[in-house]
Each structure stands twice: as structure tokens, then as C-alpha cells.
Chains A and B, each alone.
Chain A
């Protein structure tokens, strides 16, 4: 065993009570960090998951139509014109199969679903509801939304004359699986559809508005045969959605909206949550560092004479420095191990005690080895840095003076 390890361990063992206290201090600090990070991480993950349960990560659609004036002003003439905005009709993406192929090969994209969507009226007996008609290939659409896991009755795989609706819409129209309803769009066309499934996506508005049909049904109802109005994407890492959307925009020339754009406020909230947790962690680390430093400063003062003797017996200055740095490091590592266990235990207890009515934890925890590793590394660095000052003063002791006066 190297001499510095030997002495560091002996010094820590000799000052048992001090060592235990300071390890405990570091442990509490790390526990707070692990607990707080896990709590905030868990909350954020569940918030994002909730938001993204009824929203595609990226929606790609054609650009809005713009009215272009026929006459342009020249040097000689002025044109007085009032250009009216164009009413936006449902339009298909040009050569969408080509776009689809390109999008599905983009890095980071895990699922793509062409969608034909537009407004429609659902009627049953004398009940009428405005709905959002969504035609999509079931397997692809289910890869974007967790719809198949959220079926209340029936299944999601609509036939040519079948539709799948949300729980609220089913209640409003008084229908259940097997019942028929009439769908009409602005024009003359109207068709009878059979309810083949009822879903609950956990969002009242979505449950009331969405009406899912097969692609062909929507194309014929919306008069868009062969076309799709948008392509929806799912990405591997949700926070990269915006950069992927930007890549989509530049490679296809289409409009690509990421969930991050449409939920800017949520993102601001998440960010401020993260930064407030970081501020708290910085102060916790500072407190831990000061605790370790103060104990080691006292230890150097108590051991002045012994350090002098060690120097007299031929111990190098660098060895004395490492003895104290090692003590800081050992305290940091042991403290972080104890603290990580403490934080994880606290989280588990917390998650177990506070539960929602449906049995899911009120505070979802996201504890990971990465989080524990990061906290431990931080505690190790804190310990070594905190020990730097006491170590330096120990190495600078004048041995003759230290031996004489203690």
C-alpha cells in the first residue's frame, strides 16, 4: 500500500467521530442532490410524456398558400392593391411518398405516419358533433400515438367503413362498439360508419374531437384521393425534435412544426425548474465542500506535530499533500455512496407513500446509474478540491517549528 493511502486511512480511522460526521455531511449532501435530481427528472419526464401522448413530435405539412398580386409596382407606376389572405383549404403534400421515404431515413426519426386530416360532422339520430377526421394507416399511426394501449373497448384497425372514436365523443353521441354513425364533410358526401373501437388518450379535448378512420376513407370524404395532408414523426430523443424539424425544413422545403415550438411555455417551465434545481445543488455542493474543508483544516491543526515528525523522518512534501487530498477524496467517495443509497431509498419511500387515486406514484422518480455516477464524481471532485487548501498548509509547515510547538 502506498504511504499516502496508509497514512490517509490511519488519520481518518484515528479521528473516527470527525470522519463519521463529515462522511455523513457529504452523504446528506449527495442524498439531497440525488433525490432532487431524480424527483425533478421524474416530474419532467412524466410531464413531457403526458404532453406527447396526444401530440406528434414533429408534424410536416405543406406551406400555407399565399395570395400573390398580379400587378407589381415598377419605377414608373404605383399599384394600389388590397391583397386578401387566401382561405386555407385542405391540400396534399406534393409527391408525399417521396418525402415519406426521405423522412423515414433521417437520423433520429423512429416512426413516420402519413395522415389525411380535416374537419367533419358526425351525426347519430339528432345528435351532431364537429370532429377532426383523421385517416391513417393503423400500424404507422399507432407507432406515433399510444392509441392501442389506450383502447377502452374494441380495437384500432379501422376497416373501409369503420371508425374509432374517443370516450367523450362516444358518450356525447351515445354510441358504443358496433353502432353506426353518419359522417359528412362540407360537400354533399356523407357515409355511414361503424364504430369499431373506443379509446381514451387521457385528454378530454382529444377524446371528444378525434375520429380515426382508414386512409382511403378520409381521402374520399375529404376529396383528397391519393393525397395526405401531413406526415407525423416520432423521434428517438424528444428534446432533439426541434433540430430534426429544422433539418426536415431545409431538406424538404415543407413546414415542420416540432412539439417544442408548439409547447414553448412548457419548455420554459421545464428549463426554469431545471435551473432552480441546479442552483440548489450548487449550494449543497458548496456546503459539503466547506464541511470537508473545515474538518481537514482542524485535522491539520491537530496533527501539526505529527506532520513535523513525518517530515523529519524523510516524508516528502508531496506525500503530505496526497495524504490530505486522499482524505478529502475518500470522504467524498464514501459519502457519495452512502448518500446515493440514502437518496434512492428516500425516493422509493416517497414514491411509495404518495400515490394517485389510480395507484401510480404522485412523484415519479427517475433514478439512474448515470445520475448516481455523476453525483459521486461531483462529490469526489468536491472532496479533493476542499482538501486542497488544508493539504497545502500541511505541506508548508516548518517541521522544526511544528515539532517544538505542536
Chain B
């Protein structure tokens, strides 16, 4: 049996000591290799907290988090950082490219972080990915010289450069017009199908959620609905 990309067991998260706020309540869920899931829910439902925990940027108060078969709750900060670099890709709403780096340098960044130094082959790989997202000609441009859609494509290339089994996307199209959003979504879908990369995408757009394999709905820190989409494209 293939190991799931994500396996959450009884994951809870609460903040505060005197006034305790429960953000996530005993979540159980798994995400299979190559699955494309939408995470939906009203604001304050715990989507961002869940994404941070899955992204190993935050730790659960209790429960176990397995990413690509690795139990993470016992790992120290350095080990988490290493695991994050090799198994996870991030795409944020406001793309969050490093403003002082060119497109190709931004794409190279995760490889640099993993290897510690810059090599020729990194640049080759980054350029190939930029080519794949249709931005080869903008490789030497700074983020400020690109449109929002182009920046998001660079961010997707950056998320995929290490060949991670899972990409976490926090409203990747929330800041884009419908047409551009469709293009960005289609690009993610292509990578998902071609490279069997699993995606977990937070979105407020029901149109896009309907085009995912699966929709997970979070309300008040609980999964209230988890359904397979019948009409996957």
C-alpha cells in the first residue's frame, strides 16, 4: 500500500493559557499521493492554522502529523526545516517572491537552501521550470517588473523546483482576476497530473473548488464535509 502524503491523527490546536481558544479540534484526515484537494470554510474556521501545521511552520497542541511517511511531532526545528525544504512546496496568496531576486533566482531559492551553495545545474533546472510555466523570457526580471499572474507562475515554479510530493497553496488565485486565476489553476492541475504532486489548496472560489478531486470543508475547527468531486476535469 502506498503511504499517504498527509496523515493527521487527532490533531488539535489551541492558543492561550488563561483564555483557551480551540482552533482545531481532533482532526483526522489523509491525503493520497497525487490528490488535488480544496480546503474551504469561512474565515476563522482554522484553515490557515491547519495549513501552517501541515507546512511544519506550527506544531499541534496534540495529535500526530505524518508528512510523506515521516512522523513530525518529535522532530526538532532543524529537522523540520530540512523536511520542509525537501517535501513541501508553498504558494501564497500574495505570491511572496523575494523582491531583490530575479525570477530565476527566486525559483532557485529552495535548492540553494537545501544545498547551501549556488551551482550551475540549479540554474539550468530553474530555467527549465520557468520555461515550463511560460516565463523563460522573464527569467532575469525582478518581481516588480512582472504582473500578478506572472509572479504567481514564478511562485508555482519555485514551489515545484525541489520535486516535492505535496504543495500547500493558500488562496493562490485570491488576488487575481478570473481569467488569470483560471490560468494559474490550470497550471497547478497540469503539474498535479503530470508529476503526481498532491495539492492542498485553500480557496474561497466555489468554481475552482468544484474542479478539484476532493473538497474538505472546515467549520469551527472541525471537518464538517469531505466529499469527492464527481465531475473532475
Task: Give the size category of B's interface with A.
Answer: 20 to 34
| B225 interfacial contact with A, CB 8 Å | no
Contact mask for chain A residues 366-382; partner B; CB cutoff 8 A; 1 contact, 0 none? 00000000000000000
B116: chain A residues within 8 A (beta carbon): 2-3, 319
A306 to B99, CA, bound (A): 8
| A314 interfacial contact with B, CB 8 Å | yes
B81 touches A311 (CB 8 A): yes
- Residue of B with least CB distance to A16: B100
Contact A6-B112, Cβ < 8 Å, known A314-B82, A400-B57:
yes
| A403 interfacial contact with B, CB 8 Å | yes
Contact A314-B85, Cβ < 8 Å, known A3-B112, A3-B116:
yes
Q: How many positions in chain A have a CB within 8 Å of any CB in the partner chain?
A: 25
A303 to chain B, nearest CB (A): 9
Contact mask for chain B residues 87-124; partner A; CB cutoff 8 A; 1 contact, 0 none? 00010100010111100010001101111111000000
Q: Which of A1, A305, A316 is the one whose CB lies under 8 Å from B113?
A: A316
Contact mask for chain B residues 20-50; partner A; CB cutoff 8 A; 1 contact, 0 none? 0000000000000000000000000000100
A14: chain B residues within 8 A (beta carbon): 99-100
- Residue of B with least CB distance to A305: B96
| A309 interfacial contact with B, CB 8 Å | yes
B98: chain A residues within 8 A (beta carbon): 10, 306, 309-310
A13 to B161, CA, bound (A): 25
Q: Which of B58, B77, B96, B100 is the one whose CB lies under 8 Å from A10?
A: B100
A380 to chain B, nearest CB (A): 23
Contact mask for chain A residues 303-322; partner B; CB cutoff 8 A; 1 contact, 0 none? 00110011111111101000
A312: chain B residues within 8 A (beta carbon): 55, 57, 84, 90
A313 touches B99 (CB 8 A): no
A145: chain B residues within 8 A (beta carbon): none
Contact A11-B100, Cβ < 8 Å, known A312-B55, A314-B84:
yes
Contact A3-B100, Cβ < 8 Å, known A314-B81, A314-B84:
no
B115: chain A residues within 8 A (beta carbon): 3
B14 to chain A, nearest CB (A): 16
B57 touches A399 (CB 8 A): yes
Contact A3-B113, Cβ < 8 Å, known A312-B84, A314-B84:
yes
| A68 interfacial contact with B, CB 8 Å | no
A317: chain B residues within 8 A (beta carbon): 77-78, 81
A319 touches B113 (CB 8 A): yes
B118: chain A residues within 8 A (beta carbon): 1-3, 6
B129 to chain A, nearest CB (A): 15
Q: Which of B92, B99, B110, B117 is the one whose CB lies under 8 Å from A314?
A: B110
Q: Which of A6, A313, A319 is the one whose CB lies under 8 Å from B90?
A: A313
| A98 interfacial contact with B, CB 8 Å | no
B101 touches A10 (CB 8 A): yes
B96 touches A309 (CB 8 A): yes
A137 to B100, CA, bound (A): 76
| B180 interfacial contact with A, CB 8 Å | no
| Chain B interfacial positions (CB closer than 8 Å to A) | 48, 52, 55, 57-58, 77-78, 81-82, 84-86, 90, 92, 96, 98-101, 105, 109-110, 112-118, 158, 162
Contacts A306-B98, A399-B57 known; 16 new A-B pairs at CB < 8 A: A2-B116, A2-B118, A3-B112, A13-B100, A309-B96, A310-B98, A310-B109, A313-B84, A313-B90, A313-B109, A314-B82, A314-B114, A317-B77, A398-B57, A400-B58, A403-B96
